[in-house]
Amino acid sequence: MTVFGMDTAGRTVSVALMRDGQLLYECYQDAGLTHSETLMPLVDAAFKATGLTPADVELWGVCAGPGSFTGLRIGLAAVKGLAFCTGAACAPVSALEALAYSFVGEGTVVSALDARRGQVYWAAFDLGPGHARLVPDAAAGLEEMDEFLQNCKKPVFFVGDGAALCYNRYGSLPGVLPCPPALQRPRASAVCLAALEMNQKGLCVPPARLLPSYLRLSQAERERQARIKGESMP
């Protein structure tokens, strides 16, 4: 099966092409440019480098959230447009789960993305086969990890752009292992692997049903709610 993976959930952007389990192409960029500037040139480069076309892709994997609202919309819109012509299946991959799929072995990986406002998006996964989910995706303060980490029986390490925040708070806990910053970032090849797992479980959707998973309201929505609440007060 030919799979195209895409990640635009954070400040970095990554694309990958995989066929029958073999990684044909992957590109990762953290150049400070917007995803609207970088994504489609990277997609075009992937197809030119491999000699494939969007019509060859049987499964599209894209990070559907949580993450940057704008980044998620850009990635989802791109996959919808590319997949629409053929109707190929799409896998709306959790950005936190994709981070975990970059690693295998013995232990627990905590995926964390900086959600601002004193919060992180986070989830935890076992590194055994299948990357069993231990904690559902959530938007919460760092202190919400306390109980899980204190009761975790296996070695733990943190990945994602919120990893530094986690290490600052929990780095001295027994069982917490370091992870080099270069390995903490998301990879589109991991999105491909997570998409394949979703496909096997029957969790993929047609392009028109791709939706973002924000986990919390946008800034504009929060301000609107606060304004409505203020207007309703006597």
Q: Give the pLDDT confidence score for residue 118 in this predicted structure.
A: 87
228 lies in some domain: no
Tell me what the pLDDT averaged over the chain comes to. Answer: 93
pLDDT score, position 217: 65
Ordered DSSP codes for the chain: -EEEEEE-SSS-EEEEEEETTEEEEEEEE-SS--HHHHHHHHHHHHHHHHT--GGG-SEEEEEEESS-HHHHHHHHHHHHHHHHTTT-EEEEEEHHHHHHTT--SSSEEEEEEEEETTEEEEEEEESSTT--EEEEEEEEEGGGGHHHHHH--S-EEEESTTHHHHHHHHTTSTTB----GGGSS--HHHHHHHHHHHHHTT--B-GGG-----SS--HHHHHHHHHHHHHH--
pLDDT at residue 85, as a whole number: 87
- Tens-digit pLDDT profile for residues 134-172: 999 999 999 999 999 999 999 999 999 999 999 999 999
107: left (phi over 0), alpha (psi -120 to 50) or beta: left
| Integer-rounded Cα radius of gyration of the chain | 18
Report pLDDT for 221: 55
Q: What is the pLDDT of residue 129?
A: 86
pLDDT value, residue 31: 85
Residue 230 located in a structural domain: no
* Whole-number pLDDT of residue 222: 52
Pair (179, 111) in one structural domain: yes
Q: Are residues 191 and 178 in the same domain?
A: no
> Based on the domain organization, do 91 and 192 belong to the same domain?
yes
Q: Are residues 143 and 108 in the same domain?
A: yes
- Please state the rounded mean pLDDT for residues 184-195: 96
Same domain flag for 142 and 62: no
Model confidence band, residue 224 (pLDDT cutoffs 50, 70, 90): low
CATH code of residue 144: 3.30.420.40
- 49 assigned to some structural domain: yes
Do 57 and 133 belong to one domain?
Answer: no
**Same domain assignment for residues 108 and 173:** yes
For residue 90, the enclosing domain spans 2-96+186-219
69 and 20 belong to one structural domain: yes
Residue 228 has pLDDT above 90, yes or no: no
Q: Are residues 124 and 58 in the same domain?
A: no
Say whether both 177 and 201 belong to one domain.
no
- Report pLDDT digits (tens) over 89-120: 999 999 999 999 999 889 999 999 999 888 99
Q: Check: CB of residue 204 under 8 Å from CB of residue 91.
A: yes
Please report whether residue 58 resides in a domain.
yes
Query: Is the Cα torsion angle 59, 201, 163, 211 positive or negative in sign?
Result: positive
pLDDT of amino acid 216: 82
pLDDT-derived band at 225, boundaries 50, 70, 90 = low
Residues 87 and 23 placed together within one structural domain of the fold: yes
Average pLDDT over residues 206-218: 89
Q: Indicate the pTM of the whole model.
A: 0.92
Could you tell me what percent of the chain has a pLDDT over 70? Answer: 92
The answer to the question of residue 32 being in a domain is yes
- Structurally, the chain folds into a number of domains equal to 2
pLDDT tens string 38-63:
999 999 999 999 999 999 999 999 99
Residue at 149 is within a domain: yes
Q: Are residues 24 and 77 in the same domain?
A: yes
Q: State the Cα–Cα distance between residues 10 and 31, nearest whole angstrom.
A: 12
**Residue 166 within any structural domain of the chain:** yes
